Amino acid sequence: MDKKDHIAFAQIAAAFTAALAVARPTEGATAPNPVVGCAVLNAAGDILTVAAHPGAGAPHAEALALAQLAQMDVSDQAHTLVVTLEPCNHHGRTGPCSAAILAAGIRCVWYGLPDPNPLAQGGAAHLRASGVRVFGLTESPGGGPLLAQVRRQLAPFLTRVQSARPFVTVKQALDPSGSMIPPPGQKTFTGPRALAFAHGLRRRADAIITGSGTVLADRPEFTIRHVPDFAGKSRPLVILDRRGRVDAEYLAAAHARGFRPRLVQDLEQALRDLAQEGCNEVLVEAGPLLTESLRRSGLWDDWALIQKGAGPQGDDLITVTARDGQKETI
Ligand SMILES: NC(=O)c1ccc[n+]([C@@H]2O[C@H](COP(=O)([O-])OP(=O)(O)OC[C@H]3O[C@@H](n4cnc5c(N)ncnc54)[C@H](OP(=O)(O)O)[C@@H]3O)[C@@H](O)[C@H]2O)c1
């Protein structure tokens, strides 16, 4: 490798961190597309610009970052491109990123994960064949911690493409006695921090799943109130209701709130259908019956548990446990 061409891995790692960070606000905005962040560096390894894919139909992160460089009039300084997902190699709603990268004269590309989508993959091979030096984090010693963050950010998209179902987050709130049932006349028993957290989960979800028991008991709105929602985002509201107990008025009111409500009988089929419709991530907000049934089925990815008053200062304790047992306290 030409010495002046070499950018230290610490700078590449910083660029991956910046790419992950710029993409974070788009988590929940991009379905059926993935959440992708990109950073472009000059030959000294300084970040010139960062960009994230805003959502389906909009430019990919790489194309946006390269366009920003042109606007800043620094395209001639672009040397290395760092992107969380392998650049695409196909004409979808936008042109192939591999072509945009070649046209921009990029000499080196680092990407997080290979694209699992057979239609879009092949960008790395095409760039290599065209003389660009291409590195995948998966093949890089020392890439492990970054790779875990990239995997987590891409998990909803990867789950849909690889498992034909969306990434499933279950939210469960427990009172100090271990019950999920709120006191009479109340729909919730958690504090403001837990509410903001729960509404953040709703915001990133592409669909909400609940059970007929919750609808009949609480007539919940399922709207996003404690954090801002993505403008114009409409979600399926899937209600498991084998006995057809949920009334038309509730469905009409949910529709008026911007949901696409539907009654379903089978969870697995409902998940397959949601994946087919392009939902990357769903949030389950149900009562004890459906929540327990989900736990037993194993059809979940993140379990978000809110324990009232169990925090160190008597506040709500919020933990998210992944399927592999990794636990994060929020
Ligand atoms: N603390 C919390 O996090 C939380 C969250 C939501 C609700 N809640 C509370 O939960 C209470 C309602 O409890 P719940 O258990 O009746 O509500 P639920 O779990 O939301 O709904 C249960 C109903 O879902 C239907 N269902 C369809 N497929 C199912 C399956 N595979 N497994 C289980 N159920 C299935 C069943 O009706 P069919 O047989 O007719 O299909 C069942 O009666 C309310 O008081 C509400 O406030 C608490």
Q: Which residues contact 263 (CB under 8 A, 6 or more apart)?
A: 239, 241, 244, 246, 251
Alpha carbon nearest to ligand 1 atom 37, residue: 241
> Does one domain contain both 58 and 138?
yes
Report the share of the chain in percent with pLDDT over 70: 96
Q: Which residues pair with 170 in a beta bridge?
A: 284, 303
* 57 has a pLDDT exceeding 60: yes
> Does one domain contain both 219 and 142?
no
pLDDT band at 117 (very low <50, low <70, confident <90, very high): confident
CATH number at residue 37: 3.40.140.10
Which of 62, 86, 281, 285 is labelled catalytic? Answer: 62
CA of 261 to the centre of ligand 1 (A): 16
> Does one domain contain both 232 and 91?
no
CA of 50 to the centre of ligand 1 (A): 44
- Asked if 54 contacts 92 with a C-beta cutoff of 8 angstroms, the reply is no
pLDDT band at 93 (very low <50, low <70, confident <90, very high): low
Q: Which of 98, 128, 160 is where one domain is finished? A: 160
Q: Can 62 be counted among the known catalytic residues?
A: yes
Helix residue ranges, H only, the chain: 9-23, 61-72, 97-103, 123-129, 144-163, 192-204, 212-218, 248-256, 267-276, 288-297
Task: State the helix-helix crossing angle for 267-276 and 288-297, rounded to 10 degrees.
Answer: 80
Q: Which of 142, 160, 178 is where one domain is finished? A: 160
Q: Which domain holds residue 301?
A: 165-329
Question: How far apart are alpha carbons 267 and 240 in whole angstroms?
Answer: 7
Provide the domain count of the chain.
2
> Does one domain contain both 248 and 142?
no
CA of 189 to the centre of ligand 1 (A): 17
> Does one domain contain both 226 and 155?
no
* 128-156 confidence digits (pLDDT tens): 999 999 999 988 887 888 999 999 999 99
> Does one domain contain both 270 and 177?
yes
> Does one domain contain both 120 and 53?
yes
Comparing 185 with 44, the larger pLDDT belongs to: 44
* 5 has a pLDDT exceeding 60: no
CA of 33 to the centre of ligand 1 (A): 31
Residue whose C-alpha is closest to residue 198's, from 231, 228, 171: 171
Pocket of ligand 1 (CB under 6 A): 172-173, 180-182, 210-214, 217-218, 240-243, 245, 267, 285-290, 293
> Does one domain contain both 182 and 314?
yes
Question: Which atom of ligand 1 is least distant from the CA of 241?
Answer: 41
pLDDT at 96: 85
pLDDT at 2: 44
pLDDT band at 1 (very low <50, low <70, confident <90, very high): very low
- Asked if 37 contacts 52 with a C-beta cutoff of 8 angstroms, the reply is yes
CATH number at residue 233: 3.40.430.10
pLDDT band at 120 (very low <50, low <70, confident <90, very high): low
Residues belonging to the chain:
330
Task: State the helix-helix crossing angle for 144-163 and 9-23, rounded to 10 degrees.
Answer: 40
Alpha carbon nearest to ligand 1 atom 7, residue: 287
This prediction's pTM: 0.92
